[in-house]
Amino acid sequence: MEKTEKQKMLAGELYLAEDPELGAESKRASRLLRRYNSTTEEQQEQRQQILQELFGKIGNKTLIVPPFHCDYGSNIFAGDKLYMNYGCVILDCNTVHIGENVLCAPYVQIYTAYHPTEPEIRLSGRELAAPINIGNNVWIGGNAIICPGVTIGDNTTIGAGSVVVKDIPENVVAAGNPCRVIRYLS
């Protein structure tokens, strides 16, 4: 039996995002995000309900400051006490696992999606996506970009403006473009 485009996407294989099933899921996310982003700070309970419907899993005491954007939402699995400041984006064309006590400063961008480097394949409209894993007790500085396929270990700090293109171990401070370990924590 041939895989669906969604199955290919989640398997890290070339897929067509224009697929009707994926289009319907994207529209669902857009509707929920429009509702979420129009809420006020007094509507915390409504925000939690929308996130529970949007995400694959959402932990307790989650606070995401609007505006927030994602592709599908259903591929995001977050632990307790996630905090995301203004303007964060998660392109969840593959799974994004976020641990507990994760802090994201404004405009953090988490990208599972990417395009083929070969022009012929790219021109076919097919795309790729690789999962991202962020451990527990992680702080990601403002305007940091987390690229496809990356794992960030527990108790790690990613400096503002960093571009994380490879795995970052636990218990470190890392920063730069490309992001690299600056200091090991005891």
- Give the H/E segment covering residue 75: none
Name the DSSP letter for residue 62. -
pTM given for the model: 0.97
Concerning whether 115 is annotated as a catalytic residue, the answer is: yes
Tokens encoding 19: 């697929």
What is the pLDDT, as a whole number, of residue 23?
97
Amino acid present at 161: G
- H or E segment to which residue 119 belongs: helix 119-123
Give the number of other CB atoms < 10 A from CB of residue 65: 15
Task: List the beta bridge partners of residue 76.
Answer: 96
CB 82, CB 98: distance < 8 Å: yes
In this prediction, residue 186 carries a pLDDT of 79
Q: What is the pLDDT along the chain (186 residues), one digit of tens a residue?
A: 899 999 999 999 999 999 999 999 999 999 999 999 999 999 999 999 999 999 999 999 999 999 999 999 999 999 999 999 999 999 999 999 999 999 999 999 999 999 999 999 999 999 999 999 999 999 999 999 999 999 999 999 999 999 999 999 999 999 999 999 999 997
Question: What is the distance between the alpha carbons of residues 150 and 177, in angstroms, rounded to a whole number?
Answer: 14
| Cα separations in angstroms, 153 against 6, 75, 141, 158, 171 | 28, 20, 15, 11, 7
CA 64/CA 48 separation, integer angstroms = 9
Q: Which two tokens stand for residue 68?
A: 């927030």
Structure tokens at 121: 């394949």
CB hemisphere CA count around 21 (13 angstroms) = 10
Marked catalytic residue, from 115, 122, 166, 183: 115
Residue 173 Cα to chain centre, angstroms: 20
How far apart (Å, rounded) are the C-alpha atoms in residues 87 and 106?
A: 6
